[in-house]
Each structure stands twice: as structure tokens, then as C-alpha cells.
């Protein structure tokens, strides 16, 4: 289901009611995950008991489904057990008078990946593109078994957007409002009032999909294109991406960095945590109080954290301005990393910044005062 197939098997119009019933029928074998109403036009991606709980008309959700259900915020990786039985507990640590450090006395258990099947419905195009971005990190030269397992066992049903949020700028980076990626999803939905235009992408989805519906022809596709065009006109926020790499390279010491860091940035890392493409993690060890087990787990880390680039005797990003610049540059510059922008234009970092730092404004400032 990683989108290696490029065939566009069929396109049908299915009534929303019938489609949601089909979703419920998947519950036998799959965990059903989708947007649930939070407040206003905000949703939260959660496991639902029934498709009735879904809020498909949502505009945005703070945490992207990719960073909740594919790349988990926190994940246990290994468990080390110290096989020493004495009371009081005496681990194989020499400082307490034991006979040296022996890893033979330690068993290492690799936590097996979770193979449960899940379907995530209602994933907006920006978030599908974000998942493709995470694929580059976790399915690259070294594959992460946990991510890979979930990626292979997850059916992604994308939904083209029906609302444009105030901070959305996906159209500027080609990540929305309608999905055009080659892969990364299994089914693509477009809202046709009382029906969904259902485009099946993967073989697995094709096998699962039992609904007949009405075949979609040229007229329907034209209608879809018109819808997309209408959506394109609704964007209030844009980002001029031409020549951004040069603009960043020339403005590393631009006053906007210092000024934003001074007046606005709290270095609270909210931007990083809500970003659907931010992939950084920390590995941490936690030892039980009886000193018998150590769990090594990973959890999201953020480049806005003061210790992120700290080494002995120095910190490569000691100043808040440098850390802010690293975040913004990773989204809008640094395309040498994966050949694509680090941003998908979802606008989450703007929406959820407590002090309203806007990376598109920073980019504009760099451009105009160049």
C-alpha cells in the first residue's frame, strides 16, 4: 500500500451514505481512524467506533494523522533486562562493587512492530504529501521496522479539501487542495455534494471495495477540475517559492531572524510538534527503580529545544534566532536534503504558534528586504 502501483483502476460516484456503510464494514479487520469533531471547523484524528462519529467536513486537525498513526509520538523500541537476582538489587555496574560490566547478564529484547491493520479516512492532500515525506526518512537507506509495518498495514483514504483555511498555502507548494501525488494513498475521495467521487488507487483497496455505484466519466472529471479551480481561488495565504534557496542563502544574518526570535518566538516547539513533516526524534533510556529493566524509547524531538544541537563544549544553535532559522529553513530551503520542500503548506505551524509567527511572512520579508 505504499503506492508503488500507479494504475488508476476505477472511478465511481458513490452516495456518501453507502460509502460510510462500507467503511463500517471494514471494522471487522481494520481499526477505523478518522477526523472527529473538536470545535469550530477543527477535528482530531482518533480511532472511531462507527463512521457516524466522523467529521468529514473538517478544515484542519492540529496533529496530522501521519504523525499519530504511522510515525508515533512515542514508541518503545528495546527492553534491556539485567539478569541478576539479589536483594537489594545489584545491577552489573562496577561502581557498586560488582564484578564489572557484563552485557552477558543483559538480555536485549527488540519490541516487535505493531502489525494491526488500520484504515485512516479523510486524510487531506497536504497530509498525504507529508506521509510521502516521512517515507523518505523512515524507508530510506535504513528502514524503520515500526514505521514500515504500520505503513504496510494502513489503508489511506484521502479526501480532497472542501474548505480553505486562513493559514493554508498548500496550493503554493503543489501539495493541495486536491491530491496529485503519484502514490501515498489507496483511495481518493472528492466531495460531490451527496456523493463521493471515489478513485481507487491500490490493488488492496480495489479488492476490498465492493460498491458498484455510478461510473464516473469525462463530465465528472471535468466537474472535479472545476471544483479544484474554484478552490484554488479561495486561498488567502500564498508563498512565492521561486528562488527561495538563494534568498535564504543570502539572508542567513537578516535582521528578521533576530527580531522574530526576540519579540515573538518562545522556543516552545509547538511548530515542530504540529508539523506533519518534522521527523526528528530523541532516543531515551528509562531505568526502572529496581534497576532491573531499561526501556529504550523514542519520541518526537524539536530543533527549537535548546539542547537539540548541543555537543560537549558548545552548542551549534545556542541562540533562539539560530534555532528558529533552522526550523524555517528546513521547511522552505534545504531542498538538497530530499529534493522537495519540507513544507506541505498545511499552515499548522502558523495556526498553533502561540505568538503567531508566520513562516510565509518571514520568507516574504527576506525577499523584499533583500
Partner 1 sequence: MNKLRLGFFKYSCCMGCSYFFAYVHKQVPEVLASFDFVFIKLLSRKGTPEGPFDIALVEGAITEAWQVDELKMIREQSKKLFAIGSCAVIGGIPAIKATMPELEVEKRVYKNLSSIHSIKPHAVDTYVKVDGYIRGCPPAERDLYEALTAVLTGRKPDFPEYSVCIECKLKGNTCILIAENMPCMGPVTNAGCGALCPSMNRACYSCFGPMKQTNAPALAKKFKAMGISRDDVIRKFTEFGADTIEFRKAVETYED
Partner 2 sequence: MSHELSTMNPLKPLRAKVDDVKIEAEGVKTYTLSTEFPFLAEPGQFNMIGYPGVGEAPISLSAIVNDGSFKHTIKSVGRVTDFLKDFKKGDELFFRGPYGRSWPVKKAEKKDVLIIAGGVGLAPLRPVIQIVLKRREAFGEVSLIYGARNEKNMLFMDEFKIWEKDISLYITVDEVSDVSKSPHPPFTKGGRGGINIGLVTDLIDGMKIKPERAIAFVCGPEIMMRFICRGLIMHGMSQSSLYVSLERRMKCGIAQCGHCQHSGLFVCQDGPVFSYKEVCGLPDGVL
According to DSSP, the β-strands at 31-39 and 195-200 are unpaired
- The residue written with cell numbers 466522523 in the block is 54
Q: How far is the CB of 357 from partner 1 (least distance, A)?
A: 10
Among 355, 205, 195, 200, residue whose Cα is nearest residue 265: 355
Are 33 and 118 within 8 A, CB to CB? yes
Applying the rule CB under 8 A, the residues between 127 and 166 that interact with partner 2 are 137-138, 140-146, 148-149, 152-153
The residue within the footprint of partner 2, chosen from 37, 38, 55, 78 (CB under 8 A), is 78
C-beta of 190 vs 277, nearer to partner 2 = 277
What does 21 bind: partner 1, partner 2, none (CB cut-off 5 to 8 Å by kind)? none
Cell of 106: 543483559
C-beta of 16 vs 36, nearer to partner 1 = 36
Residue 4 in the binding site for partner 2 (CB under 8 A): no
Are 127 and 161 within 8 A, CB to CB? no
Q: How far is the CB of 126 from partner 1 (least distance, A)?
A: 18
What does 160 bind: partner 1, partner 2, none (CB cut-off 5 to 8 Å by kind)? none
- Contact positions vs partner 1 (CB under 8 A): 38-39, 42, 44, 62-63, 68, 73-74, 86-91, 93-97, 261-270, 273-274, 284, 286-291, 299-300, 302, 305-307, 320, 351-352, 354-355
Cell of 241: 517559492
The residues that bridge with 282 in the sheet, in sequence order, are 299
C-beta of 228 vs 333, nearer to partner 2 = 333
Instruction: Please provide residue 255's backbone torsions phi and psi, each rounded to the nearest 5 degrees.
Output: -60, -20
C-beta of 94 vs 337, nearer to partner 1 = 94
What does 233 bind: partner 2, partner 1, none (CB cut-off 5 to 8 Å by kind)? none
Instruction: Mark residues 88-127: x for contact with partner 2 by CB under 8 A, - for none.
Output: ------xx----xxxxx-x-x-x--x-x------------
Edge-to-edge order in the sheet of strand 106-110: 106-110, 74-82, 293-300, 281-287
Applying the rule CB under 8 A, the residues between 277 and 306 that interact with partner 2 are 279-285, 287, 294, 296, 298, 301, 303
According to DSSP, the β-strands at 314-315 and 31-39 are unpaired
List CB contacts of 274: < 8 A, sequence separation 6 or more.
62, 63, 64, 348, 349, 351, 352
List CB contacts of 309: < 8 A, sequence separation 6 or more.
303, 315, 316, 317, 323, 326
Q: How far is the CB of 359 from partner 1 (least distance, A)?
A: 16
What does 68 bind: partner 1, partner 2, none (CB cut-off 5 to 8 Å by kind)? partner 1
Cis peptide before 36 (omega within 30 of 0): no
What does 211 bind: partner 1, partner 2, none (CB cut-off 5 to 8 Å by kind)? none
Among 214, 41, 64, residue whose Cα is nearest residue 128: 64
Among 178, 174, 169, 168, residue whose Cα is nearest residue 229: 178
Enumerate binding residues for partner 2 (CB under 8 A): 77-78, 80, 82, 94-95, 100-104, 106, 108, 110, 113, 115, 137-138, 140-146, 148-149, 152-153, 204, 252, 279-285, 287, 294, 296, 298, 301, 303, 308-313, 316-317, 322, 325-326, 329-330, 333-337
Amino acid at each position: 500500500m505504499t503506492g508503488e502501483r500507479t494504475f488508476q483502476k476505477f472511478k465511481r460516484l458513490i452516495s456518501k451514505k453507502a460509502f460510510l456503510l462500507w467503511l463500517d464494514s471494514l471494522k471487522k479487520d481494520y481499526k477505523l481512524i478518522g477526523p472527529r469533531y473538536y470545535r469550530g471547523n477543527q477535528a482530531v484524528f482518533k480511532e472511531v467506533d462507527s463512521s457516524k462519529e466522523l467529521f468529514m467536513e473538517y478544515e484542519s486537525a492540529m496533529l496530522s494523522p501521519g504523525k499519530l498513526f504511522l510515525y508515533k509520538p512515542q514508541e518503545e523500541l528495546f527492553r534491556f533486562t539485567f539478569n541478576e537476582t539479589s536483594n537489594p538489587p545489584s545491577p552489573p555496574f562496577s561502581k557498586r562493587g560488582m564484578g564489572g560490566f557484563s552485557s552477558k547478564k543483559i538480555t536485549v529484547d527488540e519490541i516487535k512492530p505493531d502489525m494491526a491493520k488500520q484504515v485512516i479516512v479523510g486524510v487531506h492532500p497536504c497530509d498525504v504529501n507529508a506521509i510521502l515525506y516521512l517515507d523518505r526518512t523512515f524507508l530510506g537507506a535504513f528502514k524503520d521496522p515500526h514505521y514500515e509495518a504500520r505503513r504496510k498495514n494502513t489503508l489511506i483514504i484521502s479526501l480532497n479539501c472542501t474548505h480553505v483555511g486562513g493559514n493554508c498555502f498548500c496550493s503554493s507548494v503543489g501539495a493541495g487542495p486536491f491530491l496529485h501525488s503519484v502514490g501515498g494513498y489507496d483511495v481518493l475521495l472528492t466531495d460531490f455534494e451527496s456523493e463521493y467521487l471515489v478513485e481507487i488507487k491500490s490493488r488492496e483497496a480495489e479488492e476490498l471495495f465492493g460498491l458498484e455505484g455510478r461510473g464516473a466519466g469525462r463530465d465528472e472529471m471535468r466537474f472535479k477540475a472545476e471544483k479544484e479551480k474554484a478552490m484554488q481561488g479561495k486561498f488567502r495565504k500564498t508563498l512565492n517559492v521561486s528562488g527561495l534557496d538563494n534568498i535564504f542563502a543570502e539572508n542567513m544574518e537578516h535582521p528578521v531572524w533576530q527580531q522574530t526570535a526576540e519579540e515573538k518566538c518562545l522556543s516552545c516547539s509547538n511548530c515542530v510538534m504540529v508539523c506533519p513533516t518534522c521527523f526528528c526524534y530523541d532516543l531515551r533510556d528509562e531505568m526502572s527503580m529496581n534497576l532491573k529493566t531499561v526501556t529504550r524509547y523514542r519520541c518526537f524531538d524539536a530543533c527549537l529545544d535548546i539542547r537539540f544541537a548541543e555537543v560537549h563544549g558548545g552548542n551549534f544553535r545556542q541562540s533562539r534566532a539560530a534555532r528558529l532559522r533552522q526550523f524555517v529553513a528546513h521547511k522552505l530551503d534545504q531542498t538538497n536534503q530530499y529534493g522537495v520542500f519540507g513544507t506541505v503548506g498545511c499552515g499548522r505551524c502558523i495556526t498553533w504558534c502561540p505568538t503567531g509567527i508566520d513562516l510565509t511572512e518571514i520568507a516574504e520579508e527576506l525577499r523584499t528586504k533583500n
